[in-house]
Copies of this chain bind each other. A is one copy, B any other.
Amino acid sequence: MSTRKNLKVIIVGSGNVATHLARAIAQSKHELRQVLSRDLSRAKVLVNNTNVQAIQSVSHIDPTADVVILALKDDVLNTEYINQFPKKIILCHTSGSVSMDALAAFPNHGIFYPLQTFSKLKEVDFAEIPICLEASNTEVMQTLSLLASSLSPLVYEVNSKQRKALHLAAVFACNFTNLMYDISEDLCQKAGMDFEILRPLIRETAAKAQEHSPNEVQTGPASRNDKNIINRHINLLNQHVDYQEIYRVLTDEIIKRNEEL
């Protein structure tokens, strides 16, 4: 295990997580040594205008590197591809849903899971991203902590079971939330209005959840169990059976939660 403060890091992959992570590490005090992608042109795009090396084959990885981060799709993590990596290096993956055991063939392995929604369209500030770590031993945890804490103040130790729960929770907090935004935009536009009018409400709803438990600050017709408005809304959705079902299911859930309080 290296005791140098500056780690040499290799990123494997060229998708959204690899891209954002590579940028953040390149700007940190640590060294982004290489980016490996089976599609070399993508690795080259990723390291564009830096002295980071783009490589295509595992056989070219720098054996003096401290950490290899596999920012790959879940199904690739479970293939033979992984077993080509040198056994002594610290190997970690970034997936929210794959067990640490997937890397058990390596004596030094771990998880480096940034809990955020990455898309090509938007820059992210890594200082705002919780990084969830898990490690096969204390030394690996120290190395991953050193790397993570140079990128973000939000570093958490999270075991594989917790990480899976977190990944599931994130689907609600992010993907399903974004679907709610999406439906609201559609309803807005169908009535001839711009989505702009709803954006302050979206900001405020998220801002409330920063300071409060969402349960404490729920508002709206379901929260008041206002059957008149609920029924009028369901009627308004007559032309959108999908939205009608979603409205019913989520309204029932809010009413049920209130009854349980």
Contact = CB atoms under 8 A, between A and B. Distances in A.
A195 B212 CA distance: 10
A72 to B, nearest CB: 14
Given A116-B201, A185-B214, A208-B119, A228 B74 contact: yes
Nearest to A197: B130
Interface in A213-239: 213-223, 226, 228-229, 232-233, 236-237
Query: Oligomeric state, in number of copies?
Result: 2
Contact of A218 (B167, B175, B247): B175
Interface stretch (A5-13, A25-33, A141-149, A253-261): A253-261
Of the four ranges (under 10, 10 to 19, 20 to 34, 35 or more), the interface on chain A belongs to 35 or more
Interface string A104-134: 0000000000011111011010001110100
Given A122-B208, A162-B192, A178-B205, A169 B156 contact: no
A83 to B, nearest CB: 21
Contacts of A130: 197, 200-201
B119 A254 contact: no
Contacts of A242: 253, 256
Contact of A168 (B210, B233, B256): B233
